[in-house]
Structure 1
Amino acid sequence: MVTKKRKWLALCTLAIVLVILIFLWIINKGQPAEMQGTLNVTLVILSFFAVIALMLFIFFGEIFNEDGSMQKSEIIIMLTAVICIIQITLAFATYSFKQLDFENNSLQKAKETFATMSSEMLTDNFALEQVKICDEISSMYIVDGKNIVRDSTDKTQIGQSVTVDPLKSYRFPNGDVTVVMDISEAYQNKMVSKILLDLLTVLIASIILTIELVIFAIKFIEDKFADKSKIVAHHSYNMVGYVRQIAFFFYFASRMATTFIAIIAKDLGGTFFGFQGNVLAGIPQSAEFLLTCVAIFVTSIIIEKKGWKLSFVGGLVIVALGTLMSAFSTNITMFILSRGVVGLGYGFCWMTLRNFALFTVNDKDKAICFAMLNAGIYAGMNCGAVLGSVLADILGYGPVLLIASALTMVCIVAVLGLENATYQRPKIEIQKLKKITNEKYNFRYMLHAIFFVILMIVPSCIIGSYLGYYLPIYFTDIGKSTSDIGRSQLIYGLIIVYLGPWLIKWLNKYPNLFRWNIAYNVIFSLALIAFGLMGGFVPAMIAVLFLGIADSFGFVAQNNFFLNLEIVKRLGESRALSYISIIKKLAEMLGPIAFGLSFMGGSFTGVAVLGIIFLIAVALYALVTESGNQFRRKESL
C-alpha cells in the first residue's frame, strides 16, 4: 500500500511540475523575444533538477505515519518549497535579463539621439534644448576637454566644471567636445519597480497554484487508498471534500477575463437603451448578475431532483459558450447578451458549490465546507485574474477569452469521477415549510429583515463593483496596464484567503454578529470616502486593501446574521440560502450602474458620495433596528 502511494504521489508530482512549467512558459511569452529562449532553457534545467530532488524525497523520505497515512504537512511544505525554488530562481534570472535589456535599450536610444543631433551641431543655429530627449535620459550637456559645460538642457550648468560619472551617463565624443547624456534615475527606478512588481505578482500566483495542486494530489491519493470499511454510516458525501479544488478550477478558468470585461465594453462603444460611456461599460456585468439570479432557484430544484452534477456540468457548458460568444462579439448588444449567458451558467455553478454545504451531516462539517469553498474561490480568482491579465497584455482580449472558454470545458473532467448526490430535505425542514404557509409573520421580525437587506446587504454587494468594474476603467484612464488591474485583485484575494481564517477565529470567539456587521460596512464605507477625497493609484490600492480586510470576515458575519433572523429561520435552511443568494445577486447588479453614475460626478466625488451614503445607511440601521439587542439577549442566555 505504501509503495503504491509513493508511486501515485510521484506521478501526481510530475503532473504538477508539468502544469507549473506550462504556466511559467506562458508567462515567459510576455518577455522580449531575445530573452525567451534563454529563460525557457533555464526553466527546463531547473525543472529537471527539481524532479530529481522530489523523486528522491518521495521514494526515500519519511513521508508516512505509523498507521500508513501520509504526512500531509511535510509533503506540502517539501513539494511547494522545491517548486517555489524553481519559480524564485527563474524570477531572478528574468530580472537580470530585464535589467540588461533596459540598459541596452537606453544606450540604443541615446545613440539614436546623438546620431540625430551630431550633424546639426555643426550649424550656427543649433540649440541643445530643441533636441528631443527620451524618457531614459534626464539631462544632456556638451563639455569641452576640460569638462567645462558649453551648452546644456539645464542652463544653470553652462560655464561650470562638471564631473562625469561613466556609470550614470553616456558619453559621445564629437570633435573637440563630448556630448554627455545622464541616465534618468527616476525612470530607471520606475522601470525596475515595475519589473519587480510583475515578477512578484506572477511568483505569488504560481505559488498559490502550486499549493492548490499539491493539496488536491494528496486528497486524491488518500481517498483512492482509503479503507472503505472504516467509513462511518453517517458521514458527509465524499465530493464535499473536493469543494475547494472544484471551486479553484472553476474560478481559475472562468475569471481569467474579469480584469478587462468593463474595458472591452467601453472599447466597443455605442449605446444601449440610452446608456453610453462609462455607464454602458457596467451593463455587461449587470447582465451577468441578473441572469445569475435566474439560475439560483432552478439550481436548488435540479439538485433535489437530478443531483448536483447536472447543474454544475450544465453551468460549465453555458459559461464556456457565453465566454466563446464574448470573444466574437462585434458590438455592445452582442457582448451584453454573451455576458448574460455567462451569468446564467455561473449562477448554476456558483449555487451548486454553495449547496455543497447542505450535503454535510453536522455544523462542523458545514463550517469547514464554507471555509474551503471561500479558499478555493479566491485562490482560483487570484491565479485566473493574474494569468488572464498577463496574457491580455501579450495576446489581446479575444485570445484570452478563447483560452478561458477552453479551460472551463476542461473543468468538466475534474468532476466526472465524483459521486452524484441529490439533496433530500430533512423532515423537520419540510414540516417547517408546511407550517409557514399557515402562520402569519410577526411584523417586527419582517421589519428587521427588510432593514438589514436594504441598509446592510445591498451596500456590501454594490461595493464589489469597485474592484470588478470601477478600478479596471479608472486604471485604464490613468495609463495603468491590465497587469496592474490583476495585481489589485491579487491583493484582495490574498487578504481574504490568508487573513480571513484568522479573523473568523476572532468572530467565533466574540460572536456579536451585530457589531461585526456594523464594523464590516463602516470599514468599506470609509475606504471609499478616503479614496474619493484623495484619488490616485496608491489610494485606490489602499482602498482595495481595506475592502479585502472587510470582506474577509464580512461575508461570514453577514450570512450568519441573516440566517439567524427569526423570519429567515422559519423558511428552512435550503430556501433561506437561496433567498440570500438571489438578494445578493440582485444587489450586485446595481453595482456597475452605481459606480458608472459616480463617474458623472467628475474627479472622485462620485465615489466619495457613495461611501457617505453607505456610512449613513450603517448609522441609520444601528439607530432604527433592535437586532443588536436581540443577539445580545441571545448570547446572555
Structure 2
Amino acid sequence: MKTTKLTPAFKCKLLFATTLMILAALSFNAFLTSTTLEKLYVKTLASTYGIIGRDLQISIEKAVRYGKKIDKFIGMDRLLKKTHQQMNRGKDTSFQMENHVSIAVSGGSIKYSSSPDLVGSNARLTPGKSILSNGEGFTVQKQAKRYVIPIPINDKQMETVGFVIIDFSRASVDRLMHSVHLKYLKTGGIILCCGFILLAIAFNAIQLNKPGKGSKQSGKRIMMAALAIIILCQVAFSVYGRNAFYAYYLKINREKVALINHTLKGKIEFLLNKGLKINGLFKVEDLLHGMIEQSPEIEKIELQTNENKPLYTAVNDAGKGSAAKIAASVSKADSDNFYTIKTPLVKEGEVQEGRLMTTISRDKALEQIKAIGLDAVTVLVIAILFSFELLVIIFQMVDKTIEKTKVHYMDMRPAAFLFSFGIDICVSFLPLYMDRLYVPNAWIPKDIFIALPISMEMLCEGLAIFMAGTWLDRRGWHEPFLWGVVLTGAGLIYSWLAPDAFHLIASRAVAGFGYGFVIMAAQGFAISYSNTDEKSHALTQLYAGLYAGSICGGAAGAMLAERLGFKPIFLIGGLLILSILIYVFIFMSDAVKKSSQHGSKNRPTPAPWLDLFKFCSNRNILGLITLIAIPASVSLIGFLYYCIPIYLNQHQVSQSNIGRVFMLHGICLVYVAPFISRFVDQSRNKRGFLMLSSVLTGIAFIAYYSFQGFVITLFSVVVLGVAGGLMYAAQNPYLLKLPITQTLGEGKALSIISATSRIGQILGPFIFGWMFIFGIDRCLPLVGAIYLVAALAFLLVTQKETLAKPPALSDTTKAQG
C-alpha cells in the first residue's frame, strides 16, 4: 500500500490542536486544585480568627447581660487590644498580616476598633451572606480586598445589639496563591513541553495511507497517539498537583494549630501564674474541648507534663476512624514533624511546667486528598472525552486530506459534543439555584415552584421539535441549527443575568426552544450527509457526541460551581454554545452552502385524525405509551434532573460529587447500554426487556425504603442507567414490529411515541416536587411499587410483536400506502 508523509502545514495544525488540548486539560486541573486550596486557606484563617473572636463575644455578652450598653462600654479598648494581640501571637509568618478587630452596633456602624481609622465607618454587612459554609456558627464575607467575619452579640432577650467584626487582608492569601501558581506554571510548562516533543515525534513517524481502508487506519493511529500523550501528561500533572496540595494543606493547618496553641498557652499560663498547679487546673478539659469542637482539622489536644505524661486530653470524635490506616504509612518521625505541634507552658516566664501537644487530624487530610484525587480522575475523564472529540476533527481532516471530500456526517459530532456540554453544564444545580431565587407566595408550593424551570424547558423543547420538522424540510438543516445555537446560548446568558425566579424560568424556556431546534437540525444533517447504509451509524455517532458532552458538562459544571458559585457557570455554558458558530463556519462551511439542496422535496402527508386515534387506542401502543414511555421519562427528568440535586444537597453531598453522579449515569448510557442492546437485538421478545426496564426502575426506588443518602443514590443511578439502556434498545424495535405501526407508517409512529414521552418529561419535576412535600424518603418506595405494578400491567395489557393483527384504518391511509 502506498503511503505519504504528513505535510509540514498539516503537522503544525495537528501539533497546535493537540498541544492546545493538553494546555486546556492542565489548566483546568490546576484551576480546580488551586481554587480548592485558596478556599481551604481562607476557611482556615477565618476559623482561627473566629475562635479568638468568639472569646471576645462571650466576654462582651456577659457584660451586656449585666446591664452594660454596647455604645458606652468602659474598657472596650483594652479588650480589643488584648484580642488583637492574640490574633498576632503565632510564630508563623503567614498569620502576621494586616488584621483588625472592631465592635459595631446593630446598624453596622463601628464604635470601637483596633484601628482608629475604622471608627465611625460602616461595616457593610450583608445578612445571611457567606462565601464559606463552614458550619462553625459564623459567616465569612468578602469585601473589596478584605475578608470580614461578623459575630453577633446578643442581649438577655437574644436580640442582636451589635457585632464583633474581625477583618483580615487578602494579601496573605494572595501571597500563598502566587507561590502556588508559580509552581504549577513551572511544572505545567515542563509537562507541556514534554508532551509537545512526544507529539512531534509521533506525528513525524506516522504516515498517511492512500484512500481506502488504510486511510481510516492512518487517522486512528494519529488519534491513539495523541490520546495516549494527552493522558500521560494529565496523569503526571495530577500526581504533582496531589502532592503539592498535600504539602500546602499541612503547612496551612500547622499555622492554624500554632496560633490556637498560643491562644491556649496564654489562658493556661495565666492560671499557672496565679499559683495553680498544672495537675490541678479547674475545667481545663472544658477549655480544650471547646477549642477542638470549633476545629475539625484537629484530632487531639493534650496537656502534658515535662515527662510527656498526659494530664488533660480532648479528642475530636470526627478525628477518629481511619487514622490508623494513614498512621501505618507514616513513620513516627514524620508524625512528630508534620502532624504534631508542641508548645511549652512556662510559669512566670522562667520555669517550664509542661507543654501543649496538638495533633492535626490525618483523617481530614485524607478526605481532602481523596477529594483532590476524585477531581483529578474526573478531569482526566473529561480530558479524554474532550480530546476524543477534538481528535474526531483531526480524523476528519486526515480523511479529507487523503480522500478530497468536503462534507461528512461526522462533522456534526464535535458540534453536538460542545452543545451538550454547554447545555448540561448547569444540570447538577439548576433546582438548587432556583431554590435560592425562590420568594414565598400563596399560590404555588415551594417544591413545585422550583420544578418550573426544568418543566418549562422540556415543554419548549417539545414545541421546538414539532416546529423544526417543517422548517428542516423546507429550508435545510442550517437555519434551525444556527438559530437554535443562538437561542440556547442566549438562554444560558439570560439565566446568568436573571434577577429573579421568573426571569430564570423565562431563560430556560428560551434555551429549551434552542435545544429542540438544534437536536432536530443535527439529526437532519446526519441523515442528509449519509447514504442508506450509513444512516444508523451516523445517528449513533451524533448521539455518542451528545452523551459524551453531557457527561463532561454535568461533571465540569458541578466542580466549577463548587468553586465559583452557580451564576458564572451559566455564562460559561452560554459562551461554549455560541463558540459552535465559529466551529460551523470554519469546519462546516461547505455543508452550510449545500444545505438548501438537502431539504426534503417530498414531505410526508399528515395522517388523518381517525387513524391517529386508532393507533393511539391500540392496546399495545396505549400500553407502551402509558406504562413504559411516559414513566421512563418521568424517572429520567423528575428523579435525575430535579430530585437528585436537591436530595443529595440535603444530605450534605458536595456539588462536585453531585456532578459525578450525573457523570456515572451518562457513562452507564454510553458504555453499558450498547453492551445490553446486543442481547436485546438478538432476542425476539422485546416486550420482556421493556417490562424488565420498568422492574429495574421500581427496584431503584424501592431501595430507598431501607437506605438513604449518597451510596444508595449511586446504586439507583446505575440501576436507572441500565434500565434506560434496556428501554431505549427495546422500545423502537418493539414498536416497529407491531402491525399497527406498519399500517400507519414507521415515521409517524416514532414521532407519536417521541411526542408522548415529552409529557413525562414535563410532568416529572412536578411529580417529584409533590413527593418532597409529602416526604421524599416515604414516597420513593411507593413510586417504586407503582413501577412494578406498571411492569405487570404492561405484560398483561400488551401482546408480543408477532401476535397482533393489523386493524383496518381509514381509506385515506390506504390510499397513501
The TM-score normalised by the length of structure 1 is 0.89
1:137 aligns with 2:137: no
| 1:151 alignment partner in structure 2 | 312
Partner of 1:176: helix, strand, or coil?
strand
Q: Shift of the alpha carbon at 1:272? A: 6.9
User: Does the aligned pair in 1 maintain the 2:480–2:521 contact within 8 Å?
Assistant: yes
| 2:434 alignment partner in structure 1 | 265
1:566 aligns with 2:566: no
Aligned partner of 1:280: which letter? Answer: F
Partner of 1:153: helix, strand, or coil?
strand
User: Does the aligned pair in 1 maintain the 2:428–2:641 contact within 8 Å?
Assistant: yes
Taking a change above 3 Å as real, the CA distance of residues 421 and 45 of structure 1, as seen in their structure-2 partners, is farther
Deviations 1:303-334 (A, max 9, x none): 11000111111111111111111111111111
1:40 aligns with 2:185: yes
Taking a change above 3 Å as real, the CA distance of residues 387 and 239 of structure 1, as seen in their structure-2 partners, is same
User: Does the aligned pair in 1 maintain the 2:302–2:314 contact within 8 Å?
Assistant: yes
Which deviates further from its counterpart, 281-290 or 524-533? 524-533
Partner of 2:341: helix, strand, or coil?
strand
Which residue of the other structure, out of 170, 193, 200, is the alignment partner of 2:370?
A: 193
| 1:450 alignment partner in structure 2 | 622
1:516 aligns with 2:685: no
User: Does the aligned pair in 2 maintain the 1:252–1:381 contact within 8 Å?
Assistant: yes
Structure with more helix by fraction: 1
1:81 & 1:247 partners in 2: Cα distance?
24
- Cα root mean square deviation, aligned: 2.9
Q: Shift of the alpha carbon at 1:260? A: 1.5
User: Does the aligned pair in 2 maintain the 1:529–1:611 contact within 8 Å?
Assistant: yes
Could you tell me which runs of 5 or more consecutive residues in structure 1 were left unpaired when the two chains were aligned. Answer: 156-162, 229-236
The TM-score normalised by the length of structure 2 is 0.70
User: Does the aligned pair in 2 maintain the 1:296–1:581 contact within 8 Å?
Assistant: no
Q: Shift of the alpha carbon at 1:632? A: 13
Taking a change above 3 Å as real, the CA distance of residues 370 and 559 of structure 1, as seen in their structure-2 partners, is farther
Q: Shift of the alpha carbon at 1:375? A: 1.2
1:173 aligns with 2:318: no
Aligned partner of 2:520: which letter? Answer: M
Aligned partner of 1:56: which letter? Answer: I
2:254 & 2:550 partners in 1: Cα distance?
40
Taking a change above 3 Å as real, the CA distance of residues 569 and 39 of structure 1, as seen in their structure-2 partners, is farther
1:141 & 1:379 partners in 2: Cα distance?
52
1:75 aligns with 2:245: no
| 2:670 alignment partner in structure 1 | 497
The sequence identity of aligned pairs, in percent, is 23
Aligned partner of 1:101: which letter? Answer: Y
User: Does the aligned pair in 2 maintain the 1:143–1:149 contact within 8 Å?
Assistant: yes
User: Does the aligned pair in 1 maintain the 2:192–2:233 contact within 8 Å?
Assistant: yes
Partner of 1:146: helix, strand, or coil?
coil
| 1:283 alignment partner in structure 2 | 452
Deviations 1:171-217 (A, max 9, x none): 22322312222332332332222221111111111111112211221
1:536 aligns with 2:709: yes
User: Does the aligned pair in 1 maintain the 2:454–2:508 contact within 8 Å?
Assistant: yes
User: Does the aligned pair in 2 maintain the 1:514–1:631 contact within 8 Å?
Assistant: no
Aligned partner of 2:740: which letter? Answer: I
Taking a change above 3 Å as real, the CA distance of residues 98 and 462 of structure 1, as seen in their structure-2 partners, is same
How many residues get paired?
615
Which deviates further from its counterpart, 109-118 or 176-185? 176-185
Which residue of the other structure, out of 24, 27, 36, is the alignment partner of 2:26?
A: 24
Q: Shift of the alpha carbon at 1:443? A: 7.3
Q: Shift of the alpha carbon at 1:457? A: 0.5
Q: Shift of the alpha carbon at 1:37? A: 2.5
Taking a change above 3 Å as real, the CA distance of residues 622 and 272 of structure 1, as seen in their structure-2 partners, is farther
1:262 & 1:54 partners in 2: Cα distance?
43
Partner of 2:595: helix, strand, or coil?
coil
Taking a change above 3 Å as real, the CA distance of residues 2 and 250 of structure 1, as seen in their structure-2 partners, is farther
Which deviates further from its counterpart, 402-411 or 475-484? 475-484
User: Does the aligned pair in 2 maintain the 1:499–1:552 contact within 8 Å?
Assistant: yes
Taking a change above 3 Å as real, the CA distance of residues 60 and 172 of structure 1, as seen in their structure-2 partners, is same
2:361 & 2:606 partners in 1: Cα distance?
76
Taking a change above 3 Å as real, the CA distance of residues 577 and 242 of structure 1, as seen in their structure-2 partners, is farther
Partner of 2:343: helix, strand, or coil?
strand
Taking a change above 3 Å as real, the CA distance of residues 443 and 579 of structure 1, as seen in their structure-2 partners, is closer
TM alignment of 1:596-635, pairs within 5 A: 596-602=769-775, 604-627=777-800, 630=803
1:512 & 1:334 partners in 2: Cα distance?
48
Aligned partner of 1:173: which letter? Answer: P
| 1:232 alignment partner in structure 2 | none
Taking a change above 3 Å as real, the CA distance of residues 66 and 582 of structure 1, as seen in their structure-2 partners, is closer
Q: Shift of the alpha carbon at 1:340? A: 0.8
Q: Shift of the alpha carbon at 1:373? A: 2.3
Taking a change above 3 Å as real, the CA distance of residues 108 and 511 of structure 1, as seen in their structure-2 partners, is farther
TM alignment of 1:193-592, pairs within 5 A: 193-227=370-404, 238-271=407-440, 274-356=443-525, 358-359=527-528, 364-416=533-585, 417=589, 418=591, 419-420=594-595, 430=604, 433=605, 446-465=618-637, 466-592=639-765
Q: Shift of the alpha carbon at 1:96? A: 0.4
Aligned partner of 1:60: which letter? Answer: A
Q: Shift of the alpha carbon at 1:244? A: 2.6
Q: Shift of the alpha carbon at 1:145? A: 2.6
Deviations 1:227-264 (A, max 9, x none): 45xxxxxxxx9442334323212111222122221111
| 1:120 alignment partner in structure 2 | 267
Taking a change above 3 Å as real, the CA distance of residues 618 and 127 of structure 1, as seen in their structure-2 partners, is same
2:615 & 2:574 partners in 1: Cα distance?
48
Aligned partner of 2:24: which letter? Answer: I
Could you tell me which runs of 5 or more consecutive residues in structure 2 were left unpaired when the two chains were aligned. Answer: 39-176, 272-280, 317-331, 346-351, 807-817
2:454 & 2:579 partners in 1: Cα distance?
24
* Rg (Cα) greater in structure: 2
1:474 & 1:549 partners in 2: Cα distance?
21
1:543 & 1:473 partners in 2: Cα distance?
15
Q: Shift of the alpha carbon at 1:623? A: 1.4
1:462 & 1:490 partners in 2: Cα distance?
19
1:435 & 1:591 partners in 2: Cα distance?
29
Taking a change above 3 Å as real, the CA distance of residues 531 and 421 of structure 1, as seen in their structure-2 partners, is farther
Structure with more strand by fraction: 2
User: Does the aligned pair in 2 maintain the 1:356–1:369 contact within 8 Å?
Assistant: no
2:206 & 2:6 partners in 1: Cα distance?
15
User: Does the aligned pair in 2 maintain the 1:140–1:181 contact within 8 Å?
Assistant: yes
